Homo-oligomer: A and B are copies of this chain.
Amino acid sequence: MTRSLAILGATGSIGASTLAVVEEVNTRAAARGEPVPFTVDSLTANTDATAMIALAGQWRPAFVAMADPLAGAQVREALAGSGIEVGIGPGACDAAAARPTDVVMAAVVGAAGLAPTLVAARRGATVLLANKECLVCAGPLFLAEARKAGATILPTDSEHNAIFQVLGDPAQVEKLILTASGGPFRTASADQIAAATPEQAVAHPNWSMGRKISVDSATLMNKGLELIEAALLFDMPEERIEVLVHPQSVIHSLVAYRDGTQLAQLGCADMRIPIAHVLAWPSRFETSVQRLDLAAVGQLTFEAPDHARFPALGLARAALRGPPAAPTVLNAANEVAVESFLARNVGFPEIAAIVAETLTQASRRGLDGALASLDDVMAADAAGRALAREEVARRAR
């Protein structure tokens, strides 16, 4: 009954929510005199040694890994004599994923999550997928490897988890409808958006998130990346995935069936809800998260996304229709562009412009082709970054 768990990216916000759910469901089970649902076998992080030392003390995992060498040395020193093995460097994070745990929460942010998540998938683990890059940058490769190994991939992102919860026979599905808050500039004019500052862009209305992903939410690129993820995860052509702006973020996504029915998952904006779902799947856990009270919410609103003010969605669709590595290039270019925006080197509307130009250049030079190996992924990613940096430089001049 007790399953062992590895958390890749344990000190981030998804890691914290995962441990909060594990703590609650373990405590409830213990209070009932039942075996706890989870033991925490391994935790990984990048640089936050202080947080990792605290987590290790609380959870007593068998193994912790720090990607950053200095942080790793600090954790190793703090945990000396504790009996907890400490690995250092990116290879140690892969080693955490390779341990024979039942479940792996893949919550590393960014391209760094790719390699360890692939390791977990390749050994046939149950992977709770919260890392975007596995699908956006390496989707066809990642899914093929997971299928080959018999891994179970459970979507943990709130939108994809919502779809997963109401997805029946794919042959009966007419379309997937991804909801989007619309971000902080939903009601802003084109002029206001042109003048947007990093401070305005990172102020997300509903979810508390990091700076990069907050900017992605402001450009709607976040939804574009999710559209790519959904297309791969649910094997659905781009034209059958719709984006619906829904500022209250109460309906987390919908599936439309060919008989006119739409099924939806709703809840408060709390990542513990999808996390509890994938941790318990195919059952459910009782949790104490705040319950949705629609009468108290009062009103839900919906609107079509405005492609003129938010061109990122169209770019993501174009990348999906392109060669296998076009989404990899799109993602790399977007990271560079957002970084440049946050560093005040380019303006807000230039983020999409840089991505668009990078996609064009990559296609022209044939840099968006195959995705047969992790090397291909890395090459497309590097090409996207290099081209985007050129474009940033050109614009900054």
B-contacting residues of A (Cβ < 8 Å)? 165-166, 168-169, 172, 174, 177, 244-246, 251, 254, 256-268, 270, 272-273, 276-277, 280, 283-287, 289-292, 294-295, 297-304
Using known A-B contacts A295-B303, A298-B301, determine if residue A268 contacts B260 with beta carbons closer than 8 Å. Answer: yes
Whether the Cβ atoms of B267 and A262 lie closer than 8 Å is yes
Measured between C-beta atoms, what is the minimum distance from A317 to chain B in Å? 17
Question: Which chain B positions have C-beta within 8 A of A267?
Answer: 260-262
Other CB < 8 Å A-B pairs besides A258-B287, A259-B284, A261-B277, 18 of them?
A168-B284, A174-B291, A245-B295, A256-B292, A258-B286, A259-B280, A260-B276, A260-B287, A261-B266, A262-B266, A262-B292, A264-B264, A264-B265, A264-B266, A294-B302, A295-B303, A297-B302, A299-B302
Question: Which chain B positions have C-beta within 8 A of A276?
Answer: 259-260
Whether the Cβ atoms of B259 and A273 lie closer than 8 Å is yes
Residue from B246, B264, B273, B298 in contact with A303 in the complex, judged by beta carbons closer than 8 Å: B298
Residue from B172, B251, B263 in contact with A166 in the complex, judged by beta carbons closer than 8 Å: B263
Measured between C-beta atoms, what is the minimum distance from A228 to chain B in Å? 22
Whether the Cβ atoms of A263 and B266 lie closer than 8 Å is yes
Q: How far is the CA of A264 from the CA of B166 in the complex (A)?
A: 9
Q: Which residue of the partner chain B has the closest CB to A242? A: B295
Measured between C-beta atoms, what is the minimum distance from A154 to chain B in Å? 14
Whether the Cβ atoms of A169 and B284 lie closer than 8 Å is yes
Q: How far is the CA of A290 from the CA of B273 in the complex (A)?
A: 32
Q: Which residue of the partner chain B has the closest CB to A252? A: B261
Whether the Cβ atoms of A169 and B263 lie closer than 8 Å is no
Using known A-B contacts A298-B301, A302-B299, determine if residue A291 contacts B260 with beta carbons closer than 8 Å. Answer: yes
Question: Which chain B positions have C-beta within 8 A of A295?
Answer: 244-245, 302-304
Question: Which chain B positions have C-beta within 8 A of A261?
Answer: 165, 265-267, 273, 277, 284
Measured between C-beta atoms, what is the minimum distance from A138 to chain B in Å? 29
Q: How far is the CA of A290 from the CA of B290 in the complex (A)?
A: 35
The 8 closest A-B pairs by CB, nearest first: A260-B289, A294-B302, A172-B284, A262-B266, A295-B304, A258-B286, A259-B276, A300-B300
Question: Which chain B positions have C-beta within 8 A of A283?
Answer: 169, 172
Whether the Cβ atoms of B263 and A165 lie closer than 8 Å is yes
Q: Which residue of the partner chain B has the closest CB to A280? A: B259
Whether the Cβ atoms of B290 and A260 lie closer than 8 Å is yes
Whether the Cβ atoms of A298 and B302 lie closer than 8 Å is yes
Measured between C-beta atoms, what is the minimum distance from A159 to chain B in Å? 14
Q: How far is the CA of A276 from the CA of B177 in the complex (A)?
A: 22
Residue from B174, B257, B273, B301 in contact with A260 in the complex, judged by beta carbons closer than 8 Å: B273
Q: Which residue of the partner chain B has the closest CB to A291? A: B260
Question: Which chain B positions have C-beta within 8 A of A268?
Answer: 260
Whether the Cβ atoms of A292 and B260 lie closer than 8 Å is yes
Question: Which chain B positions have C-beta within 8 A of A272?
Answer: 260
Q: Which residue of the partner chain B has the closest CB to A286? A: B258
Q: Which residue of the partner chain B has the closest CB to A276? A: B259
Q: Among A165, A254, A260, A277, find the residue whose CB has the most chain B CB atoms closer than 10 A.
A: A260
Whether the Cβ atoms of A258 and B244 lie closer than 8 Å is no
Whether the Cβ atoms of A284 and B263 lie closer than 8 Å is no
Measured between C-beta atoms, what is the minimum distance from A307 to chain B in Å? 13
Measured between C-beta atoms, what is the minimum distance from A285 to chain B in Å? 5
Q: How far is the CA of A166 from the CA of B162 in the complex (A)?
A: 12
Question: Which chain B positions have C-beta within 8 A of A258?
Answer: 284-287
Q: How far is the CA of A274 from the CA of B104 in the complex (A)?
A: 39
Question: Which chain B positions have C-beta within 8 A of A266?
Answer: 254, 261-264
Q: How far is the CA of A166 from the CA of B258 in the complex (A)?
A: 16
Measured between C-beta atoms, what is the minimum distance from A29 to chain B in Å? 14
Q: How far is the CA of A362 from the CA of B2 in the complex (A)?
A: 54
Whether the Cβ atoms of B291 and A256 lie closer than 8 Å is yes
